Structure 1
Amino acid sequence: MPFARSLLKISTILFAVALGLVIYQGSRYSSLFEGQSESPYFGRWKTWFSLSQSKVPGSKQSLEKGWNVIHHLGGNGPWIENTGEDADPNLAPPEGCSVDQVHLLSRHGERYPTPSAGSRHLQFLKRVEETGLPLNGSLEFLNDWAYFSNNPERDFGELTNTSPYAGTLGAFTTGVKFRTRYEDLIPRDSRTRLWASDSGRVIDTARHFASGFFGLDWESSGKAQLQIIPESFERGADTLTPGDTCLRYLEDPILGHDNGLEMLLQFQETYIPAIANRLIHEDNIGLSNLSNEEVYGMQEMCGFELMVRGTSPWCEIFTKQDWYNFEYARDLLLYYRAGPGNPYAGAMGWLWLNATTGLLHEGPMAGSIFLSFVHDGDIAPFLTALGVFTGDKELLPTTHIAAKREWRISPILPMGARVTLERLSCSPTHEDPQVLRGHVLSISLWNMSVNEAKK
């Protein structure tokens, strides 16, 4: 972990970094509006991440107690807090310490499908309609179901603004929660700058976050300024989206950007044909020759419909094992596209890490709040460069699920995921004069203890 070790050299009385990776855990779709169910963006304020921890009724799926499909959408679903037994109950700084600088690297909020994914969905639905035959069994709901966008040209790729999982709501509420924790760091006599890559959903996430963090008048009052960074090759190293500027990554046909898709396609072949066969034999002969792409698109629609309507019948037609397979397929996609399985990822992630390290060295004199908004494919290289995922000694296979893998997208990079680095200043008498504490709000596998950090 050469980059992590470089951070340890920061000469402050105490320096600690808290990695806050938003994780989600919540209710199944069929019970989101029943009984005690709540939006994940409402709830208690025990810590800055603590949201709704109320118990909700189970779904119609006959699965064991405690299993939840939202944990297995591979970054393709809404943000929900981690309320598992390994979740940190308290994120307060150690006694005698205070936060004097904070850095945020955030994925955009919940969104509609991208145009490419959405087009695949619509093509499949058109084929269903053109058969002129009613559907049966698991797919019977499609006889009366309508797609979750009536204006795809407007919606595709943009933040959702309805349901408990609205991307606009999530970004605003995240801003409020950051203000709750970091209000004392907001400069009173200068303007704070936010950075966003030049994508509509990323820019809108930054704007809604700023409204929650600084107030609705953040632009007119001069409290903050949003700087948009083009997602273009010409930016070189001066970018938030290094995957668009790394020439070898873009041009390498084997190990570059497209490697993730190739690995995804290989794994789809191991599990999707059996699903297609099952659905066809539920008296749906009109859908013969269901392709891997079409079945995968059905699984995608579960998460996307949740983020628009709060519920989705697509979540019900697949088994628990089907969702494990989908989750792993999504893991493979990002692992080989922009994560530890890609040879260029570490170099790309070094850019943000290096710039942030310099600011941490300078301390509050360089500023107190640094806020950046990007895509999941830009956060994955940073985590790779940081060396967080070192437990997977071999590359993830495409022939079967690597059950004990560390790299899992569902709990670390859902929509709205964010990485937070905190610089702590402590009293001279503090027992640990210089510490890097990496804390991931996930399962204990991601937690890096103080003793480990000192090595």
Structure 2
Amino acid sequence: MRYLILSVITFCYVFEWCKASVCFWNSGCPYNYFATATPYNVVRGDIRDSRIKIKSCEAVSIWGLFRNGKSYPDFEKVKNMKKVTAIRNYLEASYKHGNCSLCAQDVENLRYWSIEDTFFNKSNGLTNEGYQEMLGIGKRLKQAYPKLLENPKDAQYVINVFDGDGALTEDSAKGFVEGIKSGIQYNNSANSFLNIRLCNKKGDSNEVIESLKYHSSSDYLILKDRMQRRTGISYDLTDEDILSLYNLCRYSSSGVDKKLSPWCALFTTKDLQVLEYIEDLYNYYKDSYGTPTNEILGRIPLADLFGNFERAKMGKGKELVAYFTQSSALSMAYTALGLFKDKEHLTGAHNNPERQWRSSKISAFSANLFAVLNRCIIDGEEDHNIVFYINEEPLRSICADGICSWQEFEDKMKSFSNTSTYCNNFKV
């Protein structure tokens, strides 16, 4: 009998502890992978620590693609997000009537949630956090390569408006340039691969088709049911409501302050993984392996990389070439390089949690892909090698130990130099 009482007490203690542990406000490690709206601090490394140092070698040129920093939601998202904020009143009433399974503190945090006016008024503009992300990248790069970037008189900054608002990428570039503190003006002129944003990619409908398929899957239907029961509100949540609540969660969270939005309390980790996969599906077909043209488009910036390093190898190149763009250009470059490629296509029929294509990790805000050309003097002979980095971490899958000899680099990149920048010349 004594053993039974002790067991019941232990069970009650564990039950109460578990109940408290599912409260969002005091959860130790909440899920913070939000597809392309993932904060950079969640996925980044630090080039000052991760830089591969090679004996008898020094960096002579850096080339990179940089996605825009964290942005405000666009007009369409803002319109729907404003509308759905009214759910707070229903949640409070639902909680008082015992129909809501959210924790008291989470409901209270939502009740008193507020945000700066610019969040809803500065559609698709760069946030202060986004500016700080880009400024930080510039600072760390300069600290990692002080000799190269201390006074790069020939450095070239190119604003490449790939597909969207030019002010967003331009302001991102300004943050980066301030971090470098070189005193050089960036170049906002047209460049060799501006035309790729104008291409009409065949097969784009798949980006919607596969996403819609997944909306009919058991994963998504369970998410809807779980949210309905979790909130306990009297009306049915629509797909648009769920997406807007998700956007409130991810856009009003802060990676710099390491503080997630109280709106994230509405979702379980499994819910967030389902919503992450929906966006992965969309981007996979829009910008990556799901549509063959993307691989061809991705060759265009890589041809620019090869050309710049070929000139730098001959002593005629630039110390720094930086292109500021949106996530599409990065995704296409990954595709052309054969990176993050799954054995089977992503589809709406099945969510593979072990998939390599994860937009949260490779296309987050301020995501970047850059390469460093090193000149080496070994036994009196000059040689060159190249190291690739993604989000300030070495990209080891391209060459052994992450270091490509010049021959390996040339074998991989030279064929890209023949890629046309005009869409009507593409053959898929």
Q: Shared topology, TM-score over 0.5?
A: yes
Map of 1:367 onto structure 2: 318
Q: Trace 1:277-288 onto structure 2 (pairs within 5 A).
A: 277-282=225-230, 284-286=232-234, 288=235
Question: Aligned ranges for residues 346-385 of structure 1 at < 5 Å?
Answer: 346-363=295-312, 364-385=315-336
Equivalent in 238, 253, 260 of residue 192 of structure 2: 238
Find the counterpart in structure 2 of residue 224 from structure 1: 185
Displacement of 1:306: 0.9
User: Structure 1's 224 and 155: CA in aligned 2 closer, same or farther, altered over 3 A?
Assistant: same
State whether residues 31 and 272 of structure 2, in contact with CA within 8 Å, keep that contact through their aligned partners in structure 1: yes
**AA in 2 matched with 1:239:** F
Q: Deviations over 1:194-242 (max 9, x none)?
A: 1113422211110111111125xx3xxxx2333154xxxxxxx833472
Is the 2:372–2:388 Cα contact (8 Å) retained in structure 1? no
The whole-number CA distance in structure 1 between the counterparts of 2:322 and 2:195 is: 15
Q: Please report how far the alpha carbon of residue 376 of structure 1 lies from its aligned counterpart in structure 2 after TM superposition.
A: 0.5
The answer as to whether partners of 1:192 and 1:224 remain within 8 angstroms in 2 is: no
Cα distance, 1:272 vs structure 2: 3.3
Give yes or no for contact 1:63–1:320 (8 Å, CA) kept in 2: no
Partner of 2:415: none
- Structure 2: runs of 5 or more not aligned: 1-20, 412-428
2:40 match: secondary structure: coil
Which entry has the higher C-alpha Rg, 1 or 2? 2
CA deviations 1:89-117 (Å, max 9, x no partner) are 63132111111110121001111112222
Does residue 421 (structure 1) correspond to residue 371 (structure 2)? The answer is yes
Equivalent pair of 2:60/2:319 in contact (CA under 8 Å) = yes
Alignment of 1:54-453 (within 5 A): 60-61=23-24, 67-70=29-32, 72-80=33-41, 82=43, 90-126=50-86, 128=87, 134-136=93-95, 137=100, 138=102, 140-141=107-108, 144-146=111-113, 148-151=115-118, 154-161=121-128, 166-186=129-149, 188=151, 190=153, 192-198=155-161, 199-214=166-181, 218=183, 223-229=184-190, 238-240=192-194, 242=196, 244-247=197-200, 249=201, 252=202, 255-256=203-204, 258-270=205-217, 271-282=219-230, 284-286=232-234, 288-307=235-254, 310-363=259-312, 364-390=315-341, 392-429=342-379, 437-438=387-388, 440=390, 447-450=397-400
Identity %: 18
Residue 323 of structure 2 aligns to a residue whose secondary structure is strand
Q: What is the Cα deviation at residue 317 of structure 1?
A: 2.4
CA contact (8 A) 1:141 1:313 kept: no
Say if 1:97 and 1:294 are closer, same or farther in 2 by CA, change over 3 A.
Answer: same
Evaluate the alpha carbon distance shift between residue 442 and residue 329 of structure 1 in structure 2; reply closer, same or farther with a 3 A threshold.
Answer: farther
User: 2:180 & 2:48 partners in 1: Cα distance?
Assistant: 23
CA drift of 1:175 comes to: 1.3
Residue deviations 1:304-350 (CA, integer Å, cap 9, x gap): 11139843112222222112212222211211110122211111111
Deviations 1:149-188 (A, max 9, x none): 5345632211222xxxx11211112111121123322485
Root mean square deviation, CA, Å? 3.6
Q: Tell whether the 8 Å contact from 1:88 to 1:441 is kept in structure 2 after alignment.
A: no
- In 2, distance between residues paired with 1:451 and 1:213? 28
Shift of 1:354: 0.8
Q: Which amino acid in the other structure matches residue 157 of structure 1?
A: N
What number of residue pairs does the alignment pair up? Answer: 367
Alpha carbons 1:197, 1:241 under 8 Å: kept: no
Shift of 1:353: 0.8
CA distance in 2, matches of 1:160, 1:124: 22
Structure that is richer in helix per residue: 2
Mapped contact 1:172–1:211 kept (Cα < 8 A):
yes
Q: Distance in 1 between matches of 2:158 and 2:230?
A: 51
Q: Secondary structure at the match of 1:366?
A: coil
CA distance in 1 between counterparts of 2:328 and 2:280 reads 12
Quote how far apart the aligned CAs of 1:352 are. 0.7
What is the CA deviation profile of residues 126-146 of structure 1, one whole-angstrom value per residue up to 9, with x for unaligned ones?
A: 5x4797983432383586244
- Cα distance in structure 1, aligned partners of 2:181 and 2:392: 28
Query: Partner letter of residue 249 of structure 2?
Result: C
| 2:11 aligned residue | none
Q: State the distance in 1 between where 2:179 and 2:109 align.
A: 39
Once residues 77 and 355 of structure 1 are traced to their aligned partners in structure 2, the CA distance between those partners, rounded to angstroms, is 28
1: CA distance between counterparts of 2:116 and 2:356?
Answer: 35
Counterparts of 2:115 and 2:293 in 1: how far apart (Å)?
37
> Quick one: which amino acid aligns to residue 194 of structure 1?
Y
Q: Distance in 2 between matches of 1:190 and 1:439?
A: 24
Q: TM-score, normalised by structure 1?
A: 0.70
Q: Which amino acid aligns with 1:386?
A: L
- Distance in 1 between residues matched to 2:392 and 2:23, nearest whole Å: 27
Q: Is the 8 A contact 1:272 1:292 kept in 2?
A: no
Counterpart CA distance in 1 for 2:345 and 2:358 is 13
For the residues of structure 2 that align with 1:367 and 1:283, how far apart are their CA atoms? 56
